[in-house]
Amino acid sequence: MAFPEAERIEKQTFILKPAQVARIEETARAKIDRKLVTIFTAWKNGSVQGYAHIDVHTVRTHPSALMVVWTPAGEVRSVRMLAFHEPLDYLPADKWYQQFDGVGRGRRLRVGDDVHGVVNATLSTRVATDSVRRALAYHAVLVGPDSVGPEDREP
């Protein structure tokens, strides 16, 4: 679904070190509640086509799963709700997620500011926006061209 033209998709699981957690949370302006992060990398003709992460979080009392797909340059390509176990009245329409397409780390991504809010779905929109900011932070810290800093290397 995320990479229909890919020749292969690799799954990479990261066990986050404290320095990485701090950098991701600072970059994303959102907490990380899991130290295990899985990122999927799509390849075609020997080059990276993009990345994807499935972010699972509790909205109110039930989980949701959101897939964020981004380009090798670190811009959002698509955002899709995969599972939503809250009442459907709290689920933003598919079109709402399209506002993230093309967004990179330079945007603030705040609901009610540069991200449109949805009446009766405030928590859902905040959780989704946090997921997008986390995915962009994963690119910056874990898989992007400038992702490996000295504090991230094993001694």
Q: Is 1 inside a domain boundary?
A: no
- The answer to whether residue 101 sits within a structural domain is yes
Which pLDDT score is estimated for 146?
76
Q: Is the pTM of this model over 0.75?
A: yes
What local confidence, expressed as pLDDT, does residue 155 receive?
Answer: 38
Residue 2 falls within a domain, yes or no? no
- What digits encode the pLDDT tens for the residues 90-134? 899 899 899 989 988 777 777 767 777 776 677 888 889 899 999
User: What Cα–Cα distance (Å) separates residue 51 from each residue in 15, 58, 79, 85, 113?
Assistant: 18, 23, 12, 25, 27
Residue 66, in any domain of the structure = yes
The model's pLDDT over 41-56, given as tens digits with 9 standing for 90+, comes to 999 999 999 999 999 9
Per-residue pLDDT, 115: 73
Number of domains in the chain: 1
8-state DSSP, 92: P
Buried b (16+ CB within 10 A) or exposed e, 117-138: ebeebeebbbbbbbbbbbbbbb
Helix, coil or strand: residue 9: strand
> Does residue 135 sit within a domain?
yes
Q: Which domain holds residue 22?
A: 8-150
- pLDDT-based confidence at 1, cuts 50/70/90? confident
Give the mean pLDDT of 13-29: 95
Q: Specify the pLDDT at position 153.
A: 43
Q: Is residue 155 part of a domain?
A: no
Mean pLDDT of the chain: 88
Question: How deeply is 52 buried, as exposed, middle or buried, from its count of CB atoms within 10 A (0-12, 13-18, 19+)?
Answer: buried
Starting at the edge strand that comes first in sequence, how are the strands of the sheet with 47-58 ordered?
8-15, 36-44, 47-58, 63-70, 76-84
Any domain includes 108: yes
Mean pLDDT of the region 6-22: 96
